Structure 1
Amino acid sequence: MKKSLPVLLVALAISSNALASPAAQPSPDVEPLYAGMRLLQAQTAEDKRAFVDAQLQLDEGQAERFWPVFEEHQQALAALNKRRLDNVLAYAKAWNEDALDDARAAQLAEQALAIEKDETDLLGHTYRKLKRAVPASKAVAYLQLESKIRAIVRYEQALNVPLLP
């Protein structure tokens, strides 16, 4: 019996403007997923920026120093999101082909853990840059916002990935 694994585009899309220019061309069977994700991300990137702006209430000088770091963070998130989508698609392919043996499952898990570690490292890097650019309270508030947004994304993604039997 064939199993299906839906990929939730909206959840990844709200997290950043990822996949605006993927390094490698996806295969024709998954290109619609990447294209849909890029479109949704382009539509939501401005909303995310406006949301962060409204929450942080930066003065002019703070904003001038904050937004370049924010944009750098979003670009780095884009690369992580592409890696995450590639990992989910590899999982879906193996799942749908009933080819998710222990070795493949372990490999995909290691990749997923590496992505999580890299995202944590990125958040630390961004925080260190931000606390030199804006008051620490604003840098922490941004980390909280980004963490909450990412938690929502993770929750939405988790709903759509079946557990191994």
Structure 2
Amino acid sequence: MNKYILSLFMLFTIISFGQHKKDWEKIKSLKVAYITEKLSLDSKQAQEFWPIYNEYEEKKHALSRKEYSQIKDKLKNSDDVSEKEAKKLLTLKISIEEDEEELDKAFLLEVSKVTSAKKALLLLKAEEDFKRDLIKQYRQNKGGR
């Protein structure tokens, strides 16, 4: 059984038992194995790639938290938001999206330097495939909803 099939099997097993913090850590480990295999990273490339990827993920997560705490949380009571506050929130949303775009650009350029342009593109596909497989298995475990 190759690593990919084994990783997916483990991922699906984890999902079926719930989504606790420990499970998220296992999913993250499976994602690392999945991406490493899909990109065919050798040990040198992996040593350079994963610190860059991890830093990118942390920054991306921080932007998501900022968006949630400063925008989405306030929109729960959107009827109470004034036009002035709405303009302020919209400006902040646009600013966060611009920050995300700059982060993505810088990340892809840096990854392409330590691996290759082709592997940077393959990374985008591998991430999407991993998410798709994760969602597919989640739906299957929830009775196809």
Displacement of 1:140 after TM fit?
Answer: 2.0
CA distance in 1 between partners of 2:80 and 2:89 (Å): 12
What is the aligned counterpart of 1:136 among 103, 117, 131? 117
The alignment's TM-score, normalised by the length of structure 1, stands at 0.56
Q: Which residue of 1 aligns with 2:100?
A: 119
Q: Which has the higher helix share?
A: 2
Counterpart of 1:102 in structure 2 is 83
* Mapped partners of 1:110, 1:77: distance in 2: 19
Q: Following TM superposition, by how much is the alpha carbon of 1:42 offset from its aligned partner in structure 2, in angstroms? A: 4.7
What's the offset of the Cα at 1:130? Answer: 1.1
What pairs up with 1:44-63 in 2 under 5 angstroms?
Answer: 44-63=27-46
* Structure 2 letter corresponding to 1:138: K
CA–CA distance in structure 2, aligned partners of residues 117 and 81 of structure 1: 13
Q: 1:82: which partner in 2? A: 65
Provide the residue aligned with 1:68 in structure 2: 51
| CA–CA distance in structure 2, aligned partners of residues 91 and 47 of structure 1 | 35
Q: Which has the larger radius of gyration?
A: 2
**1:155 corresponds to which residue?**
none
Helix, strand or coil: the match of 2:123? helix
Stretches of structure 2 that go unaligned for 5 or more consecutive residues are 1-19, 133-145
- Check the 8 A contact 1:65/1:133 in 2, yes or no: yes
Q: Please state whether the residue corresponding to 2:121 is helix, strand or coil.
A: helix
CA contact (8 A) 1:80 1:115 kept: yes
**Percent identity among equivalent residues?**
24
59-68 vs 117-126, greater mean Cα deviation: 59-68
Task: Give the superposition deviation at 1:47.
Answer: 3.8
- Indicate the RMSD between aligned Cα atoms, in angstroms: 2.8
How many pairs align?
111
**Ranges in structure 1 where 5+ consecutive residues have no aligned partner:** 1-37, 153-165
- 1:45-87 per-residue CA deviation (whole Å, 9 max, x = no partner) reads 3343233223322122221211111111111112111112112
Q: Tell me if the contact between 1:123 and 1:143 (Cα under 8 Å) persists in the aligned partners.
A: no
How far off its partner does 1:120 sit? 0.7
